[in-house]
Amino acid sequence: MAETSVKSVGRRADLRADSATSALATPPAPNGAAPANGFEAAPAPAAVAAPAFDRDTYRRWFEQMLLMRRFEEKAGQLYGQQKIKGFCHLYIGQEACVAGAVSATQPGDKWITAYRDHAHPLALGTSPDAVMAELMAKATGVSKGKGGSMHMFDKKVGFMGGHGIVGGQVPLGAGIAFAEQYNGTGKLCVCYMGDGAVRQGALHEAFNMAMLWKLPVIFVIENNGYAMGTSVQRSSNVTELYTLGESYDMPSEPVNAMRCEDVHAAVARAAERARSGNGPTLLEFKTYRYKGHSMSDPAKYRSKDELEDYRQQDPIESIRATILAQGFATEDELTAIDDQIKARVQQSVEFAENSPYPTPDELFKDVYVQADYPYITD
Local confidence band at 4 (pLDDT 50, 70, 90 cut-offs)? very low
Q: Indicate whether 161 pLDDT > 70.
A: yes
pLDDT (average), residues 8-23 = 43
Q: Indicate whether 254 pLDDT > 50.
A: yes
Local confidence band at 304 (pLDDT 50, 70, 90 cut-offs)? confident
Residue of 345 and 49 predicted with greater confidence:
345
Q: Indicate whether 48 pLDDT > 80.
A: no
Q: Indicate whether 9 pLDDT > 60.
A: no
Q: For residue 174, give the 3-state DSSP assignment.
A: helix
Residue of 69 and 291 predicted with greater confidence:
69
* b/e burial code for range 24-49 (CB count within 10 A of at least 16 → b): bbbbbbeeeeebbbbbeeeebbeeee
- Which residues are CB-neighbours of 268 under 8 A, at least 6 positions away? 104
Average pLDDT of the chain to the nearest whole number:
84
The DSSP element (H or E) to which 170 belongs, if any, is helix 169-183
> Which pLDDT belongs to residue 133?
96
> Which pLDDT belongs to residue 307?
66
DSSP state of 229: T
State the Cα–Cα distance between residues 53 and 63, nearest whole angstrom. Answer: 15
Q: Report pTM.
A: 0.84
Q: Are 88 and 305 in contact (CB under 8 A)?
A: no
Q: Are 117 and 152 in contact (CB under 8 A)?
A: yes
State the Cα–Cα distance between residues 122 and 173, nearest whole angstrom. Answer: 19
Q: For residue 44, give the 3-state DSSP assignment.
A: coil
CB atoms inside a 10 Å sphere around CB 240 = 15
Nearest to 309 by CA among 72, 25, 86, 99: 25
> Which pLDDT belongs to residue 198?
87
pLDDT (average), residues 349-367 = 92
pLDDT (average), residues 21-30 = 38
Residue of 357 and 117 predicted with greater confidence:
357
Local confidence band at 71 (pLDDT 50, 70, 90 cut-offs)? very high
pLDDT (average), residues 37-51 = 48
The share of the chain scoring above pLDDT 90, in percent, equals: 61
Span between the terminal Cα atoms of the chain, in Å: 65
The DSSP element (H or E) to which 151 belongs, if any, is none
Set out the domains of the chain in order of their start, with CATH numbers: 52-364 (3.40.50.970)
State the Cα–Cα distance between residues 319 and 334, nearest whole angstrom. Answer: 11
**Angle between helices 260-275 and 315-325 in degrees, nearest 10:** 100
Nearest to 329 by CA among 66, 40, 12: 66
Nearest to 38 by CA among 301, 291, 285: 285
Q: Indicate whether 54 pLDDT > 80.
A: yes
